[in-house]
Structure 1
Amino acid sequence: MTTALFPGSFDPITNGHLDIIKRASAMFDKVVVVVGINNQKRGWLSIEDRVTLIKTAVELLPNVSVMATDGLIVDLASQLNATVLIRGVRNAMDFDAEKSLATFNRQLNSNVETVLLPTLPEFESLSSTRVRELYKFNIPLAPYVPQSVAKFLKQKRDFNEE
């Protein structure tokens, strides 16, 4: 049984992330989406909201679970007996960064392989950063994030405007 981790900040999860999760869930027995906690950065959404939004987005994928960690991904992989790290790549710049990270992670834990999944063309320009910018300018988010995320962010905006 192969367990794969898909780490990221997911601030918020996008349709590009969800596509990678769906594809990984078809490839591996178990996929754990891991929201990384970076104590040096203040996230846009809380860790709890990110985890909840991802859980809602993947609820129809029975072999996918979601958790958060503030530790090293390779250490978590050892704890969960995961042997694969999933990373999405949108372009050559992503590939170079992810290749370097994969090499570093392999040095830290030689039992973990990184699998790079190329993003589908329709998601190549999509990122959480761009979603946050669209939100700032009140652009509808439905084409870019799962429906539950778009609904949550609309409610967040409506609440903040009251």
Structure 2
Amino acid sequence: MVTLNLKEIFKRRARFTGFYRLSPKELSLPADMGELKDPVNVYVEITKEKGGYHVHMEIEGNITLECSRCLSPFVREMSLSEDVRIEPYPMRDIVHIKPKDLDVSFFEDEESFNLVNLVREQIILSVPTKPLCDPQCKGIPLKEESKGDTRFAILKKLIKG
């Protein structure tokens, strides 16, 4: 786990940069999102701003997804460049948000900011809702049924229209 003490880092400097190699186990994506088989490279640049921090991340790696048409696994290359604003959780009970606030992530503690959570979030957001192995994917191939098997004859008529 990559934990940064933002309070200490920004006492001494105005900008922080780092390069990390995060293992699939560290990132632990939800099972239905896809699978990371190799480490993910992350370059991060953080600058302090009024009320929070600006985080620029470059994320590179491969993710194995399942095609939503043919259900076969395929590898998709990730090459993400993301800019995110991070802020402490609001202290008010009611918070009014503006469109620009939708690009904000929140952290609990400046002294133990978990960078892995932010990287995981950006990877999850980059995965398409309906991933395709190929835009021209035809789906699951239907095999011709044998002449003697009539169990699917009615369905076949529906498909032919």
Which TM-score applies when normalising by structure 1? Answer: 0.21
Q: Who wins on radius of gyration, i.e. which is larger?
A: 2
> Whose helix proportion is higher, 1 or 2?
1
Instruction: Provide TM-score, normalisation by structure 2.
Output: 0.21
Q: Which has the higher contact order (CA 8 A, sep 6+)?
A: 1
